């Protein structure tokens, strides 16, 4: 039963995304938005580099309660989160004609679903060796989507 859910749920999410995006014209950005998006990419890149070094340092000393693969993904998700939050704070994420209300709701729902899925997985399977592993990525993704929304 669980494997059916694992297959059908991503398909349903993909179908909903396709439904929302069908027939839409590309989002237009003005010159200010393009420049600020470049600044957001630069800031996210710098944060990604530093977070990778910090996570490697903490992992080497067993101060981070996760394995290396989850730490790498956490650094990647942090980079994405920094880019999106910076772009939203500067009003450049959704473009001139973007439908921000709909996408904020979609991002929020995806975050809640990921967080609940991750928590239920820990409740049923526990934590191997007492640390988070790459199989617990749903929690990190859920937090990222909730911060973004």
Model confidence at 2: pLDDT above 70: no
Model confidence at 19: pLDDT above 90: no
61-102 pLDDT tens trace: 989 888 888 899 999 999 999 999 998 888 877 765 567 788
pTM of the model: 0.75
Task: Kindly provide the b/e burial profile for residues 85-107, where b requires at least 16 CB atoms within 10 angstroms of the residue's own CB.
Answer: bbbbeeebbbeeeeeeeeeeebb
Model confidence at 26: pLDDT above 70: no
Model confidence at 1: pLDDT above 50: no
If 0-12 CB within 10 Å is exposed, 13-18 middle and 19+ buried, where does residue 148 land? buried
34-53 pLDDT tens trace: 888 889 999 999 999 999 99
Looking at the DSSP assignment, which residues form a beta bridge with residue 132? Answer: 66
Mean pLDDT of the chain: 85
């Amino acid at each position: 039963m669980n494997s059916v859910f694992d297959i059908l749920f991503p398909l349903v999410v993909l179908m909903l995304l396709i439904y929302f995006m069908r027939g839409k014209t590309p989002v237009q950005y003005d010159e200010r938005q393009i420049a600020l998006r470049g600044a957001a990419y630069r800031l996210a890149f710098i944060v990604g580099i530093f977070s990778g070094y910090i996570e490697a340092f903490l992992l080497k000393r067993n101060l981070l309660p996760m394995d290396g693969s989850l730490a790498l993904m956490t650094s990647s998700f942090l980079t994405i989160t920094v880019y999106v939050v910076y772009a939203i704070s500067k009003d450049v994420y959704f473009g001139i004609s973007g439908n921000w209300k709909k996408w904020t709701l979609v991002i929020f729902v995806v975050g809640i679903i990921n967080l609940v899925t991750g928590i239920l997985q820990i409740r049923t399977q526990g934590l191997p060796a007492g640390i988070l592993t790459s199989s617990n990525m749903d929690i990190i993704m859920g937090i990222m989507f909730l911060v973004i929304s």
